Amino acid sequence: MKNTYDILVNFKKRAYEFYEWNQDDDIKHIKTIPTFRISPSCLLDFYNSELVVSKEFLKKIENKTEVFCKGLVKTEKYACVLFCDYKVMAFTFDSNGKLTGKSNLLFDESDDIIKSCFNLEEIKINYNVISVYNIKGNYTRKEYKIIESLLSYLNSIYENKNSFEIKYMYLECFNKETKDEDKAYNELVSQVKLANFKVIEKLRDLIKVLKK
C-alpha cells in the first residue's frame, strides 16, 4: 500500500470521465487516500459490477482517507484508490463492504499514480460480485441516464402487470404484434441494454404520449 495525495474524485454509481462531471456534483478534494495495485481483471470487476469486499480489506483502509471540506479535514471511513498498469480509479464502501461509489480521476493525476506506484506489489482483494452492470458499450453520462430511466420504467410497468402498454410498445417499436407479455418485455429490455437508440428514441416518444 502507498498513500496518494491531493486528488479530485467524484463518487457515483457509475464512474464518469472527468469531462462529464457536472458543477452540482459532490466533487471531493482528497488530502490523502490509501492506494493499491491490483490485476486488470480485478479492476474491471470493480468498475463494472456491484460487489462486496471482505472485512479484512475494510480494516486495511478504515479511516485512512482524509478529505478537504470547507477549510477542515474530514475522514472518509472506507475509501481507496485501486490501479493496474493502465487504469486508476477510486472507490468507497459501506461498513458491510458493499461498494457504494466509483470515480475516475483526472488524466494527469492517474498518470502520476501509475508512475509513482508502478513498483508496488500487486495485492489480491477478496470480494463477491452481486451483479454485473450489463449495458454494453461506451456511452455518455446523458445516454446512460436515458438507458437507466427506460429500464426502470419498463420494469415498473412489467411488475404492475400493465400488459397492454408493454404489448403496445412492442408493436410500435418492432412493427409486429405478440400476445406474449414476457416476450415483449424481454425484447424491449434487451434492445435498451444493447443501446439500440432507434428503439430507445421510439420508447421515449411513446412514453410521452402515454403519460398525457
pLDDT tens by residue, 159-212: 988 889 999 999 999 999 999 999 999 999 999 888 888 898 999 888 888 776
pTM recorded for the entire structure: 0.72
* Contact call for residues 62 and 78 (beta carbons, < 8 A): yes
Separation of alpha carbons 37 and 40, rounded Å? 9
pLDDT tens-digit map of 63-85: 999 999 988 999 999 999 999 98
Separation of alpha carbons 129 and 190, rounded Å? 22
pLDDT tens-digit map of 112-164: 999 999 899 999 999 999 988 766 566 777 888 888 889 999 999 999 888 89
Residues in Cβ contact with 100 at an 8 Å cutoff, skipping those fewer than 6 apart: 11, 92, 93, 94
Q: Which long-range contacts (CB under 8 A, 24 or more apart) does 134-141 make?
A: 134/193, 135/193, 135/195, 136/193, 136/194, 136/195, 137/195, 139/195, 140/20, 141/14, 141/16, 141/20
| Count of alpha carbons within 13 angstroms of residue 196, beta-carbon side | 14
Here the cell at position 108 is 494527469
Question: 10 Å Cβ neighbour count for 28?
Answer: 23
* Contact call for residues 197 and 170 (beta carbons, < 8 A): no
Torsion from C-alpha of 67, 73, 77, 82, nearest 10 degrees: 30
